[in-house]
Structure 1
Amino acid sequence: MTDIETLHSPTDAIVVTDLVKRYGRMLALDSVSLTVPNNTMFALLGPNGAGKTTLIHILCTILQPDGGQAWLAGTNVQKQPLKARQNIGVVFQEPSLDDRLTAYENLDFHGRVYNVKSADRKRGIDELLALVELEDWRHAVVRTFSSGMKRRLEIARALLHSPRILFLDEPTVGLDAQSRAGIWAYLDTLRKQRDLTIVVTTHYIEEVENCDKVSIIDHGKIIADGSPLHLKSQHGKETARVIPRDAETAAALTARYGALQTAKDGSLIIDASAPGFADAFLAEFGSRIRQVAFDKPSLESVFLTLTGRELRDRTADEHEKRGAAARRGRRS
């Protein structure tokens, strides 16, 4: 009889089958299954409360699922959590550096926890500080760092024990646009240099356009996955974002085009994929609108097509909040 632990390809860094997680009566993960090949830049895309963090915490052995199985680099996460942890580096959404220590001391402490030999630890610290451009701040106390510098140091720390998979949960939240772009540049360099599988959760949809594979999660379910190009070709639509001059025009648009989506800025989102839509729309409504912008098929339109709303329209669901509170309680 074949052992279920061997039922996956050696070319897959992550295999998840039918994962279930509940917080009381709330179903946070609903039979989630996915695979992530080795040396892949993979993004888990979804709104706050969709189940992204819950899934990552199960894969990082922080949470136990209520059902299903997960493997990391061939290791069953539930049955061999200690071995699984040796294969992963993690950068959590909440800061986890000791800001009373220097950059060097934070990395050195992490290496000692993972039993990295002294010579390898010193060499790795030098290489990683150079990679994230913090070598000039190696002896600076971390509390003096900017948010972007702290995040770069957290990435370096997560890689010191040479993991095969790097998890980053919302790595650019709270960073300015320049810092966010810099983090993604570092990640791309890391994957190429280290043959690393990188898993990122985010609700910044524009950040995942260059990923190899994207899975869209909503209400605890994977509702679509594939390359960004595949997702856009299968589910993306050209849309028009319209700001009407008055409520009467808004009502007329709804009557003409059916139920419309409302963006966070108050504009109405209309399916503009029909041939000749722009000319027909402007002929009928051109004088009655303040502004119209036409958007080409994008991952944002993919999410809108699949869920009926924009990605960032929601705040965290209660089950995610309760789960975070429970985890903080266990640490205190």
Structure 2
Amino acid sequence: MDTISTFARRVGLTPSALRFYDDCGVLRPAHVDPDSGYRYYSADQERDAALLRALRQAEVPLADITAVLAGDPASAREVLTAHARRLRSRADTAHAAVEAALRMVEQPSHGEVSVGGAELASAIRQVHPAAARTPEVPELGCVLVEWTTEVLRLVATDRYRLAVRELVPHRVVGPPNRLLVPVDAMVAALPWAVRHDAVRLVAEADDASLVADHPGDDAATGEVPLPTRDGNYPDYRRVLDTLAPHTCRIVTTRTALLDALAAAGNPVVLETGGDTVHVGDATVSAVCSGTARLAFDPAVLAPAVAAGVGPDVLLEITAADQPTVVRSADQGSFTTLVMPVRMDQ
């Protein structure tokens, strides 16, 4: 067996750290001399000590470290997965705060992001159904448009739904930025955007506009002004990062699901059944992993299903009281969250 100093050097920990972990009951020495109180460690403990060092570097709390060291692999995986979600949430929150600080410090008077016109039109079409159409909370009647050098993101929510579409920008000028654009203005710009190969969203100090990169001969169609609003938009990143892992996945034909929702009452109960999903009184063929039974307002779920791309739709279900993720089965850059409603027993 090794003395505490020798063992500490071998595993990359300090003797004081090993004494601390002994006092906390996280990593006990293999033997303690009853006369001198010296601690001794065995070679069998090197794996736990190395794992302990890695977990502390990852900022895992001591209580969770004890569960990882003492538990089975499945329990350890569950603890570490939950910790990873917390770290991502903290990192995203810090990133958003830094971006906000950059906007305040740099006070950009000009910024722009370029993207394909058809891509932008598709993104507007996908997210706008999730925006609120009532005036109680003005920010929810807007589409959040934000960009960095790596991504242009459109977000809309009415607190019952959350839609997020990401695009890869062709070019970005200026620092990261974000705008709140009333949803009606975004929808009005949709047919204009689809007629242009590439468009630029230009943000000035007090206004914004969409500008065609190649407006053609008719200069009147080369630019569309966009009104903007001030306000605090909900922290959609936190919502996405705190989603629990799904327990059931359903892949089904989009049109069949929409037809079933159109014929259903409110609320409509969705229930898996082998290779089918029951939607109210209708039965739709589906590929299901796991089981689920939950209810939706069809007027809320149907637009989320319709907004996707391709013939199939994917539903990822966590629980009857947790948001359901609605995705296009072949397009990962568009995500909608839909809240279930209370089921009639």
Query: Taking structure 1 as the reference length, what is the TM-score of the superposition?
Result: 0.23
Q: Which structure has the highest strand share of the two?
A: 2
Structure label with greater radius of gyration: 2
